[in-house]
Structure 1
Amino acid sequence: MPDVRANGIDVRYETLGEPGDPALLLVMGLGAQLVDWPAEFCAALASRGFHVVLFDNRDAGLSTAFDELPQPDPAAIFGGDQATVPYLLSDMAADAAGLLKELGIARAHVVGASMGGMIAQQLTIDHPGLVSSLCSIMSTTGDRTVGHPTPEAMAALMRPPATTREEILAGAIASSRVIGSPAYPASEEWLQERAAAKFERSFRPQGTQRQYAAILAAPDRTAALGGVTAPTLVIHGEADPLINVSGGRATAAAVPGSELIVIPGMGHDLPKPLWPQIIDAIVANTGRASV
Structure 2
Amino acid sequence: MATAHANGITIAYETSGSPLDPPVLLIMGLGMQLIAWPQDLVDGLVEQGYYVIRYDNRDVGLSSKLHHHKKPNLLWAYLKSLVGWKQDAGYTLNDMADDALGLLDALGVGRAHVIGVSMGGMIAQIFAARFAGRILSLTSIMSSSGRRGLPGPTPAARAALMQAPPQPAHRAEVVERGVATFRVIGSPSFPTPERTLRASVERALERSVSPDGIARQLVAIVASGDRTPLLRRIRCPALVIHGAADPLVPVACGIDTAQAIPGARLHIIEGMGHDLPAQLIERLLALLDQHLRGNMTAQLPPLTQHRAGSGTHHD
Give the TM-score category using the shorter length.
over 0.9
Q: Are the equivalent residues in 2 in contact too, given 1:77–1:216 (CA < 8 A)?
A: no
- Residue segments in structure 1 that go unaligned for 5+ positions in a row: none
Give the deviation of 1:82 after TM superposition. 3.5
Farther-moved stretch of structure 1 (95-104 vs 161-170): 161-170
Farther-moved stretch of structure 1 (225-234 vs 170-179): 170-179
1:233 aligns with 2:239: yes
SS at match of 1:251: helix
Q: State the partner residue of 1:23.
A: 23
Identity score, percent: 45
Whole-angstrom CA distance in 2 between matches of 1:230 and 1:77: 34
Matched ranges for 1:92-241 at <5 A: 92-163=96-167, 164-241=170-247
Say if 1:45 and 1:213 are closer, same or farther in 2 by CA, change over 3 A: same
Q: Structure 2-normalised TM-score?
A: 0.89
Whole-angstrom CA distance in 1 between matches of 2:36 and 2:29: 9
Q: Are the equivalent residues in 1 in contact too, given 2:244–2:268 (CA < 8 A)?
A: yes
Give the deviation of 1:39 after TM superposition. 1.6
Whole-angstrom CA distance in 2 between matches of 1:208 and 1:260: 29
Q: Deviation digits for residues 131-180 of structure 1, max 9, x if unmatched?
A: 10000000000102225111111001112112222112211221122110
After TM superposition, the runs of 4+ consecutive aligned structure 1 residues lying more than 3 A away are: 79-83
Give the deviation of 1:60 after TM superposition. 0.6
Q: Deviation digits for residues 14-70 of structure 1, max 9, x if unmatched?
A: 000001000000000000100011222111111110000000000010111111211
Q: Are the equivalent residues in 2 in contact too, given 1:72–1:86 (CA < 8 A)?
A: no
Give the deviation of 1:83 after TM superposition. 5.5
Whole-angstrom CA distance in 2 between matches of 1:127 and 1:227: 11
**What letter is aligned with 1:87?**
Y
Q: Are the equivalent residues in 2 in contact too, given 1:71–1:84 (CA < 8 A)?
A: no
**What letter is aligned with 1:41?**
L
**What letter is aligned with 1:39?**
Q
Farther-moved stretch of structure 1 (37-46 vs 236-245): 37-46
Q: State the partner residue of 1:251.
A: 257
SS at match of 1:243: coil
Q: Structure 1 residue aligned with 2:290, among 259, 284, 290? A: 284
Q: State the partner residue of 2:36.
A: 36
SS at match of 1:18: coil
SS at match of 1:46: helix
Say if 1:253 and 1:261 are closer, same or farther in 2 by CA, change over 3 A: same
Q: State the partner residue of 2:276.
A: 270
Q: State the partner residue of 2:50.
A: 50
Whole-angstrom CA distance in 1 between matches of 2:87 and 2:236: 34
**What letter is aligned with 1:266?**
M
